Amino acid sequence: MTDYDALSARIRALAHGETDEVALMATLACEIHHSDDRFDWTGFYRVVAPELLKIGPYQGGHGCLVIPFSRGVCGAAARTRQIQLVPDVDAFPGHIACASSTRSEIVLPVFGNGGRLIGVLDIDSDQPDAFTDEDATRLAAILEEVFGHV
């Protein structure tokens, strides 16, 4: 399991004073990905047009390049502006299989200053039911701390 206190402290130190969203996404993708063996793919999809996400900084194998808000778990998180915690991706209607090894997934909306949706954080696991409510709560707090003022 992730040591979220240590992860938060590392990210806080690394991100201090940085305002570039892509630089922050790259740093978080790296730190989060390497913090837990459950995390098989960790990355951001950025809002680049109305109702459209494109891949941003990530760690792991190739991801999907473009995801409309109307498709998949990432699209659902962007469309509803709510965390999507999916214990079995095969049971999620409209799941986009970017990697055949993915068994479970958590996707969190990423908000900038003033509640502007700037993207989503997508974490895939090759283990079923890999994510918990604590993951959702602690990752959301990290995203708010880093991006909430950018």
The predicted structure's pLDDT at residue 22: 97
Handedness of CA 24, 34, 63, 109 (dihedral sign): negative
The predicted structure's pLDDT at residue 93: 82
Q: Mark the ranges of the chain whose per-residue pLDDT is less than 50.
A: none
Q: What angle do CA 7, 79, 50 make, to 5 degrees?
A: 105
**CA–CA distance, 53 with 100 (Å, rounded to integer):** 21
The predicted structure's pLDDT at residue 95: 80
The predicted structure's pLDDT at residue 97: 76
Is the model's pTM score more than 0.85? yes
CATH number of 4-147: 3.30.450.40
Residue for token pair 């040591």:
3
The predicted structure's pLDDT at residue 101: 85
Residue for token pair 């915690």:
85
Continuous segment of H or E residues that includes residue 24:
helix 21-33
